[in-house]
Amino acid sequence: MAGLDLNLLVTLDVLLAEGSVVGAARRLQLSASAMSRALARLRKVTGDPLLVRAGRGLVPTPRALGLRDRVRRVVDDAESVLRPAMKLDLGSLSRVFTIRCSEGFAENFGPRLIARAGAEAPGVRLWFLAKPDKDSTPLRDGTVDLETGVTGESMGPEIRTLGLFRDRFVGVVRKSHPRLKRKISAQQYASGAHVLIVRQGLQMSPIDAALARLGLTRNVAVTVSGFSPAIALARASDLVATVPERHTAALCRGMHRFILPMPVAGFTISLFWHPRLDADPAHRWMRLLIQSVCSSVR
């Protein structure tokens, strides 16, 4: 488009993020009148009011809501292109990396990751956050730097992915479980008292889907929201927990794990991040460090 001022994209990005002319002006270090003129130009270019008065504030129009994520991606990509390449000095790097992960990841891979990061970059700190769902919003808005898990349909199409390791589901019970045998049938497995793990946004688990194909259902005694409480309950009772093998290896120490008596497909645990951090040298170093640690921990 001839004569298009691309700086308007930055202005629009900030206006949509702030939802306020005054707030956007403060963030861009402009006067309120200059920001009002910029908003008027954006309205003319887009043919939409974008932000309209609602009481004492402004609310975005449907067109503005539709543009918000697209504009954010364009601005992120532009900043990445223009950002100068930096030489990474791990010895002087001071940074907190926030990693959103499911139960078991921090316990299983955290100690080795902390030790490796501390040896290479003493000023780096790690912050592990719980992952109650598959929503990729925290990656988009910068709340977290990295996330681990299985790729899902709700994952944003722009999110970058790096495979870490293959995993599979196994059953786990206490060592002295009364029904413990070397090999059990699918019917014996289903009839045991199970602790069911249900997480927000997830459909039927692959375990229940595999049993359904055999005309079986699990005998569920209790339901929890994560691997850690499921394993803790199985450790202290006759309950059966079904969890990812490698992902929860540290949590299952001292317990008996067994291969499931019906075919259940394996899956890949991956690392996710937003593309705006692709070219960041420190972020790239942390991604490769996590990949290296996951490949070395069994």
In the chain, which residues fall in CATH 1.10.10.10? 7-82
Q: Which CATH number fits domain 7-82: 3.40.50.720, 3.20.20.100, 3.40.50.300, 1.10.10.10?
A: 1.10.10.10
The strands making up 124-130's β-sheet, listed across from edge to edge, are 124-130, 95-101, 146-149, 267-273, 160-167
Mean pLDDT in consecutive groups of 10 residues from the start of the chain, 298 residues? 68 85 85 87 87 83 86 78 73 94 87 95 94 80 90 76 94 87 86 87 78 95 91 95 92 93 93 90 95 86
CATH of domain 169-265: 3.40.190.10
Return all residues near 249 (Cβ < 8 A) that are at least 6 apart.
104, 108, 297, 298
Rounded to 5°, angle at Cα 206 from 201 and 210: 145
Q: What is the CATH number of domain 95-165+271-296?
A: 3.40.190.10
Q: What is the pLDDT of residue 291?
A: 95
Q: Give the per-residue pLDDT at 104.
A: 83
Q: What is the pLDDT of residue 274?
A: 92
167 closest CA partner among 91, 280, 260, 97: 260
In angstroms, the CA 166 to CA 84 distance is 36
pTM over 0.75: no
- Domain boundaries for CATH 3.40.190.10 within the chain: 95-165+271-296, 169-265
pLDDT on residue 215:
96
